[in-house]
Amino acid sequence: MTPLKFILAVLLSIAAGPALAHPHVWVTMRAELIYASDGSVTGIRHAWTFDDVFSTYAIQGMPQKVKGQFTREELAPLAKENVESLKEYNFFNYARVEGARKKDAFTDPVDYWLDFKDDQLTLNFTLPFKTPMKAKDLLIDIYDPEFFVAFEFGEGEPVKLAGAPAGCKFEVMKPDDNKFPASQRLDKNLRESVENQGMGQLYANKIAVKCP
C-alpha cells in the first residue's frame, strides 16, 4: 500500500471487522465559514493537522529533494488522494439548516494542498456547499461516525466567519474531554472488542452560527 492511499486505507479497514473502541488517527482542525456578498454561506475552509505518528506513516517512501522537507508540489499527489477518498465519508462534515439535517450538503473540495511542518501534515481544503444559502440557524457537526478518526479544534480561535452579515454570531462546541482522556490516545493496550459504529457522534465538534 503506497502512502498516497493513507486516508482511504485506514478508513476502509474499518469495514473489515469490529474496530477497537478508540481512535487511531488524530486531527487538530481550524475552520473558516465563507460568506458571499449577498449574505449566503458558500462553504467551509478547513485546515486539518494530522498527528505526528500518522504523518510519519503517510510520508514513508515519498520522494523529496531535501531530506526532512516536502514542498507543496511534492505533496500534491497525496493531497489529491486525500480529498478524493474523503468524499465517500461525506468529508466528515454534517450540516443542519434551520434545525433540519441537510443531506449531501457539500460538493467536492477545491483549493486543496498539503503542508509539512514540525513533522506533521496539514491538509488545507475548501468544502463548498452544493447550494449557497442564507441561513439564520446553521449547525456544522464534524466527526467520524466510526470514531476511527478523532477530531478536535485547535487552541486560540479555531473558527472564524469570513464576510458574514453584520449581527451573525457563532459558538464553538467541543466534546467533553473527560469522555476520552488524552492519556488513552493511540494506546495499543486498549483491546476492547467493541464496534465503533455510530460512536463518533458522541465526540462531535460543532460550529453553531446564528444570523439575524
Q: Name the one residue in this structure whose C-alpha cell is 460538493.
A: 107
Contact 49, 118 (CB under 8 A): no
Grid cell for residue 72 = 507543496
Structure confidence at residue 146 (pLDDT): 80
Q: Please give the pLDDT value at position 180.
A: 52
> At 124, which helix (H) or strand (E)?
strand 120-133
Tens of pLDDT, residues 19-61: 444 678 899 999 999 999 999 999 999 999 999 988 988 888 8
d(CA 196, CA 41): 33
pLDDT, tens digit (0-9, with 9 covering 90-100), for 135-156: 999 999 999 888 888 899 999 9
